[in-house]
Amino acid sequence: MAKLSQHQVDSALQELSGWTVVNGKLHRDFQFADFVHAFGFMATAALIIEKMGHHPEWFNVYNRLTVDLTTHDDGGITKKDVELAKELDALAAKLL
């Protein structure tokens, strides 16, 4: 997978709700009603993530989840990251 150009990243951000670029990674903070909902999102997302074979950097504290997406092998944001961000958005839309 090739690293996206800045123009391609900017274009992708137009299609992603709540995502920004922080430290060269797609970044989003999710907030849920409580820990059970945050953990439920993570557990459900893990099945999607594993199927895609593309694992995020994420950090959970109680009802908050921070997600950063980058393709380490390609040195930046790729189409895989954008696709995973869209999948996470779709899942969050169902649960939030």
- Mind listing the pLDDT tens digit for each residue in 72-82? 988 999 999 99
Q: How far apart are CA 93 and CA 75, in angstroms?
A: 29
Picking from 51, 50, 89, the residue whose alpha carbon sits closest to that of residue 67 is 89
Q: Is residue 5 part of a domain?
A: no
Asked whether 56 and 68 are in contact (CB, 8 A), the reply is: yes
In a domain, 62, yes or no: yes
C-alpha–C-alpha distance, residues 12 and 16, integer Å: 7
Let me know if residue 3 belongs to a domain: no
- CA distances to 16, 66, 79 from 5, rounded to whole Å, are 17, 24, 11
Is there a domain that residue 7 lies in? no
Q: What CATH number should be reported for the domain holding residue 41?
A: 3.30.1360.20
pLDDT tens for each residue of 35-44: 999 999 999 9
Does 70 fall in a domain? yes
Q: How many domains does the chain have?
A: 1
